[in-house]
Amino acid sequence: MIAKPAIPDVLREPGPGIGKPLSRVDGPLKVTGQARYAAEFNVPGLVHGYIVSSTITKGRITRIDTAAALRRPGVLHVFTHENRPHVAWFDRKWKDEDAPSGSPFRPLYDDRIVHAMQPVALVVAETFEAAREGARLVQVEYEAEPHETDLAARRHEAFTPGKEKGGFEPPPKPRGDPDRALAEAAVKVDVEYVQPTEHHNPMEMHGSTVVYNDDGTLTVHDKTQGAPNSHSWVCSVFGLSKSAVRVISPFVGGAFGSGLRPQHQLFMAVMAALQLKRSVRVELSRPQMFTFGHRPPTIQRVALGAAPDGTLQAMIHEAVQESSQFENYVEIVVNWSGQQYRCDNVRLDYKLARLDVFTPLDMRAPGAATGVPAIEMAMDELAHALRMDPVELRLRNYTDRDPNQDKPFSSKELRACFAQGAERFGWSRRNPQPRSMREGRQLIGWGVASGVWDAMQGQADARATLGIDGHLVVASATADIGTGTYTVMSQIAAGTLGLPIGNVTFKLGDSALPMAPIEGGSWTVSSVGSAVLAACERVRGRLYKLAAKMEGAPLGKAKPADMVLTDGHVALAADPARRVPIAEVMRSGGVLAIEEEARSVPYYVKRAQHTLATHSAVFAEVRVDEDLGTVQVSRIVSAVAAGRIINPKTAGSQVMGGVVMGIGMALEEETFMDHGLGRYMNHDLAEYHVPVNADIGSIDVIFVDEHDEVVNPLGAKGVGEIGIVGVPAAIANAVFHATGVRVRELPITLDKVLAGLSRRSAA
Amino acid sequence: MPGTVRFVLGDRVVEVSDPDPTTTVLQWLRAQGRTGTKEGCAEGDCGACTVVLGSVDDGRISYRAVNACILFLPMLDGRQLLTVEDLREPRGPLHPVQQALVDHHGSQCGFCTPGFVMSLFAEFHREEGLKDEEGIQDALAGNLCRCTGYRPILDAARRVGAASRADRFAVEEPRMLALLEGLRRDTGLALTGPDGRRWFAPRCLAELQALLDAHPDATLLAGATDVGLWVTKQHRRPDPVVWLGDVAELRRIAQEPDRIVLGAGVSYAAALPVLASRWPAFGALVRRLGSAQIRNSGTIGGNIANASPIGDGMPALIALGARLILNRAGLRRTIPIEDYFLGYRRTALLPGEFLEAVEVPSVPGGTFATYKVSKRRDQDISAVAAGFSVTLEEGVVTEARLAFGGMAEIPKRAAGAEAALVGRPWTLETVAAAMEALGTDFAPLNDMRASAAYRILVARNLLMRFHLESTGQAELLEAADA
């Protein structure tokens, strides 16, 4: 039975395990190749599916010929829209936890083609090679229709979305008279920024292995950020009972959002397993990783007006973003601008344009990684126009209340981020003049930007089972996509029960475990960590009660409030030398195991009275080759305020990884669209550039002290997204400082820089 | 025993009879349930599939990291294959490279981790491996990581570089040498896959000539860093395949006083020290060519023969006046390398003819430089590659060879720019005229690597930089511009 404890509104002081730089507990499994990912579960009789992708972008299939494929030795079956088994009809049956409003994509549903490389058939064969060869032999004829994939072409037909998705807040109403204030401002910037499509490209490609059990039930190994999400989606789409399917996902080879929604390989593998009554694996190829979900391209206008002393007088931030024809994907892009700075005349506007692409999908810091760089680049342009230090400009307009909602922040140590980051970076030595630093043929520049991300929390359950042998097993259906969930949850549990970390096992990635929300948005420590804490506290409470009732009263007349757990003992808080081993307490109480399940729910009331966010200040140094236009990021200092840090090692690594993805966003990452074909051109890792190690210079992560009693009982805000947010703008601003060239279209590639440099020298 | 691929997997001999000749080592491993080796791209770009090949070299076992995703199974014949599962002794402690990655938090999602482990392991067994920052970056350039931000992995590499290189593989080397000796074959390997496609691996030039006589249309395979992608990306099914990797004569390097002769099967990794010692700039370029894994597999001959418009080594070889030795049934002819490239992916090679060797003359007195410009520092196809060589007599240019990649459908000399230099003093004015002429020598493409305007501008800037570097004026210009 699930207990629903009321979590007291005080910050507890968790035990000694919390805050330690523990190495990840799953490290040895990963360095020896024993960690198994979705496509690595082999069972006897496993067959392989290979997906055939459409060659047009929009239209319909007029004919599909599978005869040649079926003749290929080893090929068992070819699924198409003509012979697929029955699946759900209502849109709501196809929705998952992360679905926006609209009609979710249905693989092999009918003859319609709505995006490039849409899956049109699945070839199932005894071997992977035969399936791939069969896929080559499937012949499809199409009737193509004109498509539009260019955001610039549709930006003027954009519409204002409603509240299309959980977690999305439309922009607040305008305040003051921003247009007039802008017109009257002494100093102003009014510029447009363009950001490209990006793809998540986790190192592991999406794959699903569906094991068809003897009793007809399915065990699904899926690459997902939420086993329960995949589980309920499969049950709903195929009309299966909850007990007929179990989804397992102990290890995920990165996702960054790509696993927030069930992807079509899961549908394909389940469909084939059900129909063929065989175990089936379907893996996407790297090019097929570009056929679902991406960070949408965005065009933004930012206009800022300020008094000569830097006081902001007007702020207009408008964004137009891509969505598909069938769903209204939305992300918060512009709202943070109004939240970060004090300004009386503000208009924030967000629109969507429909294009013939797949629905975009949350990618690390969705919206913030797009909108915050725009406002932060504009603030740098304003600082330059004002001849003011960009840190000083930000502090001049600093706010301790959220102006959008007129609420206090639960905590906001951004000032400390600026101070400590600037100190570490040596910012005070910066000459504000662009092109003032060089070394040989390299121009050197320093830039700064701030970052922000929401500190969210969801409802989650966890179960803790303490055995008389002193081993604790804690379980929750959450995921570890490389973030360190196994490790930090073990730490929270060990800390709460005073156990060595080696005595704790954390289980996750299994739809049969206590419910947890999809892992994303930096809310897992907050949501699941709070549930782990609550479950372990209940176990602790049971131990104290048993200890108080022990025969011979080894702890005297101590009440639970007088006890502590340390080193596997129940001890007196006032006299820790008086203690009894946990095993003895349990033996005397006649229990072999103590099991407690708890649900954590956010502090709804207190949260509603505050704005909750993580913040960062990012400082970047770049070196630009003036003959070639190449940009090297030689140094980054990222100072982060994210509440309590459970594990500085895993958290530091999260931020560092975010910084590198931010470097990619600033300089390299871009999925090119051939608008004539409506297809992505660089759908592989050779041409879709993620940074290599030589692209990375020194990265220094600082966590500033931040105390928060509102966010959750742990006081921890989550660090998965904040690392990326400020980085693209800090780099873009540094490139300007180095060269005097402002590149407003990301990524800042060598040809854009060199074109700017030659325009500048011509001028 | 023809028809059977024999190799050592870990420490046991494995025999595979007549496999599909273009099954990749990665697919084979994973189908065996050895899933520690990962697929991230199936084209040698990400390094998640990195495995280590051990082979006998001068009586010792040398280990090299390669991409299993584009390595065909028969290429293992006679070698030792080590995967991430092999490093830790059963129930023993982690291997030092594994422990370093754990301690430094070099693994997050863990999917790229086995590849990093194996790249580090190969370097662990090179005495000079991982000794300095440059060496560490080079060793890991072929491994992408999307989670960690690389710093923790580089920290782990530094620790491995500073540690003692003793491990059980060093202890067991004599036994492994004996095992590999037992797999040696004297005549070539011939396989026929289940669908009838054939694979030949000749051992000597005579066998190769005979095979090409019989199969003039055979696909010649060297390191498979290009042909591998025909299979994994384009789903092609070459037949028959003649693999050159065991032809002893093609792997020779001859260093003569006036020239270096590199067999067509010499890998870039093997050529690197030779090229770097004669032309440091060429060495620096080769270090940015592909990655350690690609250079360990990819050969100079393959890079020339596939006639890519942007093969990074081509401009340098053209600038140095390299010549190709082509062989057809034992009849040899020698042509300047620039005459080999006829058009986009079209070459001067006749049916049944193969590239046997490249000879590179040393140019005493000449000034040489080569450059690679790409969006990403490592693991990237060049936007522009250039190789320049000028010979001066009393300050006057007597010969100029200016070659570019990425500027046309083939690697190509800049005839107009060269003409603008020859006979004139090697001055900034002369170079300015040559820079101008580049605009008529080339009409490059706009593509996602760079715009046409960028390519022309950078080609000019590279020539300018070459002049400044060769005359020691770089400092002067910087001072003037500041």
A588 is a domain residue? yes
Residue B152 contacts A where some CB pair is shorter than 8 Å: yes
| Alpha carbons A98 and A394: distance in angstroms, whole number | 34
User: Contact B141/A28, CB-based, under 8 Å?
Assistant: no
Give phi and psi for B418, each to the nearest 5: -60, -45
Q: Which residues of A are catalytic?
A: 721
CB contact at 8 A, B464 and B435: yes
Q: What is the pLDDT of residue A300?
A: 98
Q: Are residues A443 and A529 in the same domain?
A: no
Could you tell me how many CB contacts below 8 A there are between chain A and chain B? 241
If asked whether residues A689 and A638 sit together in one domain, one would say: yes
Residues A620 and A548 in one domain: no
> Which of the listed residues A601, A618, A652 is the one where a domain comes to its end?
A601
Q: Which of A601, A619, A643 is the last residue of a domain?
A: A601
CATH code at A398? 3.30.365.10
Closest Cα in chain B to A479: B109
Among A24, A32, A682, the strongest candidate for a mutation testing the B interface, having the largest count of B CBs within 10 A, is A32
Within the 337-396 window of chain B, which residues sit less than 8 Å (CB to CB) from chain A? 373, 375-381, 383
Nearest CA in chain B to A660: B149
Considering the domain boundaries, does residue A94 fall inside one? no
Q: Which pLDDT value is given to residue B229?
A: 95
Would you call B376 and A481 a contact, using CB atoms and an 8 Å cutoff? no
Contact residues on chain B for A754, CB-CB shorter than 8 A:
454, 457-458
Res A5 pLDDT > 60:
no
CB spacing of A24 vs B137 below 8 angstroms: no
Q: Contact B17/B3 with Cβ under 8 angstroms?
A: yes
Q: Which residues of A touch B458 (CB under 8 A)?
A: 627-629, 750, 754
Interface of A with B in 183-202 (CB under 8 A): 201-202
Q: Are residues A507 and A656 in the same domain?
A: no
Reported as a single tens digit per residue, the pLDDT across B176-224 is: 999 999 999 999 999 999 889 999 999 999 999 999 999 999 999 999 9
Q: What is the pLDDT of residues A384-421, one digit of tens each?
A: 999 999 999 999 999 999 999 999 999 999 999 999 99
The runs of H, that is alpha helices, within B56-125 are 96-103, 113-124
Residue type, A2: I
Chosen for mutation from B32, B104, B107, B381 (greatest number of chain A CBs closer than 10 Å) is: B107
Residues of B in contact with A482 (CB under 8 A): 108-111, 147
Distance CA A514, CA A508 (A): 9
Mark whether A554 and A642 lie in a shared domain: no
On whether both A763 and A615 belong to a single domain, the answer is yes
pLDDT tens digits, one per residue of B89-136 = 888 999 999 999 999 999 999 999 999 999 999 999 998 899 999 999
Q: Please give the residue range of the domain that contains residue A652.
A: 390-454+604-763
% of chain A exceeding 70 in pLDDT: 98
Arithmetic mean of pLDDT, A198-206: 98
The model's pLDDT over A107-150, given as tens digits with 9 standing for 90+, comes to 999 999 999 999 999 999 999 989 999 999 999 999 999 999 99
Residues 6+ apart with CB under 8 A from A173: none
Please indicate, yes or no, whether residues A495 and A625 belong to a single structural domain of this protein: no
Strands B331-336, B241-243: parallel, antiparallel or unpaired by DSSP? Answer: unpaired
| A693 reaches B (C-beta below 8 A) | yes
Residue A465 has pLDDT above 70, yes or no: yes
β-sheet with A504-507: strand ranges across: A504-507, A472-475, A460-467, A593-600
| A114: in domain | no
Asked if the structure places residue A136 within a domain, the reply is no
Indicate the burial class of B461 (C-beta count within 10 angstroms; 0-12, 13-18, 19 or more): buried
Q: Nearest by CB to B375, which of A133, A205, A750? A: A750
| Cβ atoms within 10 Å of B470's Cβ, excluding its own | 17
- Answer whether residue A331 is part of any domain: no
Structure confidence at residue B364 (pLDDT): 66
Comparing CA positions, the residue from A378, A310, A312 lying closest to residue A342 is A312
- Which 3 state secondary structure label does DSSP give B328? strand
Residue that is last in its domain, among A601, A617, A635: A601
| Interface contact flag, A672 B383, Cβ < 8 Å | no
Domain match, A593 and A643 both: no
Q: Is residue A687 part of a domain?
A: yes
Residue A438, in any domain of the structure: yes
- Return the minimum-mean-pLDDT range out of A6-15, A246-255, A487-496: A6-15
**Closest-approach residue (CA) in chain B for A137:** B235
Asked if B102 reaches chain A (Cβ–Cβ under 8 Å), the answer is yes
Which pLDDT score, from 0 to 100, does residue B310 have? 82
- Ranges under pLDDT 50 in chain B: 1, 476-482
Please check whether residue B469 touches A, CB under 8 A: no
Q: How many CA atoms lie within 13 A of A114 on its CB side?
A: 19
Over the stretch A669-683, which tens digit does the pLDDT of each residue have?
A: 999 999 999 999 999
Same domain assignment for residues A663 and A534 = no
Q: How many domains does chain A have?
A: 2
pLDDT in tens, A230-264: 999 999 999 999 999 999 999 999 999 999 999 99
* Closest chain A residue to B476, measured at CA: A440
Q: Give yes or no: residues A615 and A762 share one domain.
A: yes
Per residue in A562-597, pLDDT (tens digit) is: 999 998 999 999 999 999 999 999 999 999 999 999
Residues A743 and A613 placed together within one structural domain of the fold = yes
With an 8 Å Cβ cutoff, is A687 touching chain B?
Answer: yes
Per-residue pLDDT at B475: 55
Three-class DSSP category at A648: helix
Indicate the residue of B112, B375, B454 with minimum beta-carbon distance to A668.
B375
Contact present, A671 and A660 (Cβ < 8 Å): no
A553 plus A614 within the same structural domain: no
Let me know if residue A129 belongs to a domain: no
